[in-house]
Amino acid sequence: MSGMSEIHQQHQQKIKDVFAEVAKVVVGQEYMVSRLLAGLFTNGHILLEGVPGLAKTLTVSTLAQVLHLDFQRIQFTPDLLPADLIGTMIYNQKDGRFDVKKGPIIANIILADEINRSPAKVQSALLEAMQEKQVTIGETTFKLDRPFLVLATQNPVDQEGTYPLPEAQVDRFMMKVSVDYPTKEQELEIMRRISNMQFGYEVNTILTKEDIFAIREEVNKVKISESLERYIIELVTATRKPKDYNLTHEAQYIQFGASPRASINLNLSAKAVAYFEGRDYVLPEDIKEVARDVMNHRILLNYEAEADNVKTSDIIKVLLNKVPISK
């Protein structure tokens, strides 16, 4: 990073150390960790999508340890109630009054496991907390501790007995990250570790809350040129008016384009990626790197796309190839 101060350099090193500490416990998944950190440093929530057994829960809980943040894992089930999440009022017989019992959402990092297994009331209670950064129990409103980050997981395969998140609620997540299978070498390492009982590693705390807030400030100061800001707007507008960008073939598949949250989050996450690379300025490649994660849950496809087996990622790939960067 040009003109990088000593504090900047220390923070850069600490971020590398965070990856190293998580790798002691989790094999692979550096991509997932980088996206979780991008969310943490830009105040954005992350939706993780992947089949069971890909260490989503383990990665999040390990990261919380490395960051020394309060962590709560909430297993979403069909019988979960909003009170199970945010808390409730309990009658105290001794004093003859109602006391507040805070729910597990009063923490820094919330892992909402299998969020699509709970009914709409519970999902909306969680998403309200995400948006407002506060919860109301009875007549008392509690500000949530900072940083507050929701990392939700959903299983894309098992749709029976699930309640898919409505589009307006999914939009509140900064990124939807697809977690993939490990490589053959990584899976071999996982198998060896488990078969040799090599688990339960101790991890060290690398970042404090003060470090996290300081890094947020540094990420916020990463520069992005006006031409790249306009490029972000062009990318997002192309999802809404594809024919204006000569995307006639893709236009037949898009039902709704991305919301303004896509523009905001493309900007923020591109800054985070640039910062991780040790730069204080954004390159076009940074925007392209995060485009899929930021936009894949914001572009709604129609039934024709499903019939022709066209995925959102296919549309985004074409967008990145065809939408020019304005000079």
What pLDDT does 285 receive?
93
Burial of 2 (0-12, 13-18, 19+ CB in 10 A): exposed
Exposure letters 280-297 (e unless 16+ CB within 10 A, then b): bebbeebbbbbbbbbbbb
| Superfamily of chain region 223-322 | Magnesium chelatase subunit I, C-Terminal domain (1.10.8.80)
List where CATH 1.10.8.80 sits in the chain: 223-322
Nearest residue to 12 (alpha-carbon basis) of 21, 23, 4: 4
Does CATH number 3.40.50.300 belong to domain 6-213?
yes
Nearest residue to 76 (alpha-carbon basis) of 184, 18, 154: 154
List where CATH 3.40.50.300 sits in the chain: 6-213
- The rounded radius of gyration (Å) of the Cα atoms in the chain is 21
pLDDT at 27 over 70: yes
Burial of 41 (0-12, 13-18, 19+ CB in 10 A): buried
Higher pLDDT, 13 or 99: 13
Among 175-179, 193-197, 297-301, whose mean pLDDT is lowest? 193-197
pLDDT band at 237 (very low <50, low <70, confident <90, very high): very high
pLDDT digit string, tens, across residues 156-181: 765 555 667 777 778 889 999 888 88
The one-letter amino acid code at 239 reads T
pLDDT at 4 over 70: no
Higher pLDDT, 192 or 211: 211
Among 97-111, 189-203, 240-254, whose mean pLDDT is lowest? 189-203
User: Which span out of 38-52, 91-105, 192-206 was modeled with the highest average pLDDT?
Assistant: 38-52
Residue 162 CB partners (closer than 8 Å, separation 6+): 116, 117, 154, 155
Nearest residue to 126 (alpha-carbon basis) of 100, 147, 148, 146: 148
Please tell me the distance from the alpha carbon of residue 210 to that of residue 63, in angstroms, as a whole number.
16
What DSSP string describes 262-308?
HHHHHHHHHHHHHHHTT-SB--HHHHHHHHHHHHTTTPEE-HHHHHT
Residue 285 CB partners (closer than 8 Å, separation 6+): none
Model confidence, pTM: 0.86
The percent of residues above 90 in pLDDT, for the chain, comes to 23
Among 10-24, 102-116, 161-175, whose mean pLDDT is lowest? 161-175
